[in-house]
Amino acid sequence: MTQMRMVANLLDQALERGKYELLPTRKVTRHRRPLFQVRALKDLRSGVRAGERGGFVERPDNLSQAGNCWIADGAIVSGLARIEGDAVISGEAQVFGTARVSQSAKIADRARVFGAAHVTDAARGEDWATVRGDALIACQAHI
């Protein structure tokens, strides 16, 4: 399958689901895979308005179509990482590998979550925080 056809398929998949769409960009991951910018198709409880552009994903599965989760600013979610529930990734934060950020967790600034790490509940990762490996950050932890 050509890269253009793959891009078209990814865009079609995102449009079918309804919360956001993927816009092609010139940004790439550190492995030279293309990134797509998310754009909201409807207002979300997290304050995101329809038409608002957000951060960047490598694939549609990086950002759940359910809930109010969002990737904002210049944040990047790539690999098999997943953002779910009402979680918000913002600033220049990065989530990659097989990491998960879920429920009401917030990852901001230049924080990074990777490996098989999971940040959940109302946990926060800010500034230059790094969560990696098999770490589980939960409850109201602030790192």
Rounded percentage of the chain residues whose pLDDT exceeds 90: 81
Terminal alpha carbon distance of the chain: 42
Structure tokens given for 5: 């056809």
Reported confidence tier of residue 77, pLDDT bands at 50, 70, 90: very high
Taking phi first (over 0 means left), then psi (-120 to 50 degrees means alpha), and beta for anything else, what does residue 134 get? alpha
Least confident of 20-34, 55-69, 72-86: 20-34
Res. 125: pLDDT tops 70 = yes
Q: What is the pLDDT of residues 34-53, one digit of tens each?
A: 999 999 999 998 899 999 99
pTM of structure: 0.86
